[in-house]
Structure 1
Amino acid sequence: MGSFDDEEKKSMGGLRLKTQKWIGARSPKQKAALGVGAGLMVLLLLWLTIENHDNLFVTAETVHFMGIGVLVYKLSQEKTCAGISLRSQDLTALFLAIRLYCSFVMEYDIHTILDLLTLAATLWVQYTMRFPLKATYNDELDTLKTHYVVIPCLVLAFIAHPGTSHNFVHRILWAVCVYLEAVSVLPQLQMMRKAQVVERFTAHYVFALGIARFLSCAHWLLQILDGDSFLLTALGSGLWPIMVLLSEIVQTFILSDFCYYYVKSFSEGGSVVRLPADTV
Structure 2
Amino acid sequence: MSANPRTNRTPVILAVVGVLVAAVLAAVLGVVLTTGDDDKDDAGENKSATGPKSAIRVVDPATLPAAVQPDGVIRVGSASAPVTVTVFEDFRCPFCKRFETGFGPLLADYAEAGKIKVDYHIASFLDGKLGGTGSVKAANAARCSVDAGKFAAYHTVLFTNQPEESEDGYTAARLLELADQVPGLRGEAFDTCVNTDANAAWVSAAETAFESSGVSATPAIAVDGKILDSGNSAMRSPDNLRELLDQRLENPGSGKAALGEEPQAPSAG
Q: TM-score range by the shorter chain?
A: under 0.3
Is the strand fraction higher in 1 or 2? Answer: 2
Is the helix fraction higher in 1 or 2? Answer: 1
Report the structure number with the largest CA radius of gyration.
1
Using structure 2 for the length normalisation, give the TM-score: 0.26
Using structure 1 for the length normalisation, give the TM-score: 0.25
